[in-house]
Structure formats: structure tokens, C-alpha cells
Structure 1
């Protein structure tokens, strides 16, 4: 009998698992852009704890294993900034990223204290799979920002 993936709020016991998964998942992005100094690969455990305390964080578990995660926080303009949507490489292409994106949007919509007016996220300009997912989920490009000679971040948004 196979196990099913469950999505729940992340808690303190998940922090190290999220950081390890993040490191694994961002290897392909670092390779794609030729930059292994990107923030997801250099983030410390303390930085991650601080980030998680400021907003919402979700994990997807297969049994006890954290296989995916996403987080976000609301800014002063009512924008829910969604970040670091990660899925374990062996779990990709099964709809888990889309499920997590839907779940974090619902989390912001259901939380009266952090009800968002819009959702915003970003990804690298060469990250075709990410761009396809975000567009399929209703996000549209609203800008871009060159952060280095090989990387331009594309900002995407949709109304809440």
C-alpha cells in the first residue's frame, strides 16, 4: 500500500529538514545559472528560523519525510510574498508544487490577520518549469530585475 503526501503547517521540528531539502533542490538552479552562491544555498539555520517566524510556512510529507515546502509573508502593502517553493527531485512532475502553491494561497486567504490583496513570487528567467507552473496557476509577469550577468529574476503576480 502506497503512502499519500500530506500538507501541513511547518513547525520547529521541520526547520532542519527544510534547510536540507532547500539545499538539495536549489542545486539545479545554481547549475542552470552558474552561481552556487545564491541565497537559498547559503541561508543559515538561524536565518531560516527567523524567516519562518515572520509568515506562513508549509511542508509536504510522505510519511515522516519532508518532500516539499513553501513559505511566504505579508508585506505592509497587503502583498503575500511567496518564496522558496521546493519539491524533492524524485517527487517532481506529480503536481505537488501546484498543490503547495494553492495551499499557501489558501493559508493567506483564510488568515484574517494576513489576508492578502495579491500574491507575488519570483523565479529566474531560465527556470522554464517554474514559469510554466506559475502561469498555469494564474500568475502574470509584472517585472524583471537583473541580479547578475547570468541571472534575471522575473516577478509574477496575481490578485488574491
Structure 2
């Protein structure tokens, strides 16, 4: 397995992984109002240039995970951490988060997840992230913002 930068040509595969990976998030929180599930493939394609996206490939070159990050005002915005359901619970999400730490060793990193996403929150805390605020959306979902 290897983590390498994604290219615009990877968007269709990344988008399919996004839909698959975030479906379990929707089931966990009991809502399909997950931002990653609301995005269209065309929106993902247009937004691709705004992020540094890294893909995790298996030995056959199949994309089984991804993460994206970008420099924001005073911190690194981390998002769309996703692992194919068949490859979960193997430490791959930790490897992708660690890659962001390698790329930006001294920067403050920020991400968010639904407050009902207990497994995500536990992972982020394990990786050194701490909650600093919550925000409730009009949809009724609440999100926790975490920094490291």
C-alpha cells in the first residue's frame, strides 16, 4: 500500500469511494445530510483544485482510501478522510492522518465530524485532536470541530 498525491483524473474513483465510505456515516447518524453525500461528482471535480488530495492505493493500484487538506487562515483544514468499508479497522485512517502530520509538522490542523460519529471522534482523539467547538446546522445535525 502507498499514499500518493491524487490527480484530477482520479476524481471519478474518489467520488465513488466518497459515496461508499460516507454511506456508513449516514447510517450511524441516522441522516443523509452528510456534506460528502450531498456533493455531486461535478462539484467534487470543481473543488478538487482547492485541496491537496492524497490517495491510498492497495498493491494493485486500487484506491482504498483518501484524505484532503489545504492551508487556511492560520491552520491546515483536513477533510474527506475516507476508507473503503472492506479495509476499515486496519489502521489506514491513522496512516492518512499521520501523512498530514508529515506534510505539515508544525501547523495546527483542524477537522470536523458529526457529534454522533463516535468512532470518528475516538479516532481523532487518538491521533491528538481535541474538540474546541460545536455547531448545529439547520438540518438538526451538530458537528464538532477539532484541532491538533
TM-score of the aligned structures, taking structure 1 as reference length: 0.85
Query: 2:54 — aligned with what?
Result: 58
Bigger shift: residues 19-28 or 144-153: 144-153
Question: Are the equivalent residues in 2 in contact too, given 1:58–1:104 (CA < 8 A)?
Answer: no
Query: 1:93 — aligned with what?
Result: 89
Instruction: Give the drift of 1:150.
Output: 4.6
Q: Mark the structure with the bigger radius of gyration.
A: 1
Question: Are the equivalent residues in 2 in contact too, given 1:141–1:155 (CA < 8 A)?
Answer: yes
Query: 1:125 — aligned with what?
Result: 115
**Is 1:106 the equivalent of 2:98?**
no
Q: Structure 2: 5+ residue runs without aligned partners? A: none
In 1, Cα distance between equivalents of 2:136 and 2:118: 17
In 2, Cα distance between equivalents of 1:93 and 1:130: 12
**Match of residue 66, structure 2, among 65, 69, 74:** 69
| Count of equivalent residues | 147
What root-mean-square deviation, in Å, do the aligned CA atoms of Structure 1 and Structure 2 show? 1.6
**Match of residue 7, structure 1, among 3, 9, 27:** 3
Q: Structure 1: 5+ residue runs without aligned partners? A: 110-115
User: What is the CA deviation profile of residues 73-100 of structure 1, one whole-angstrom value per residue up to 9, with x for unaligned ones?
Assistant: 111x221110010001110010000000
Query: 1:17 — aligned with what?
Result: 13
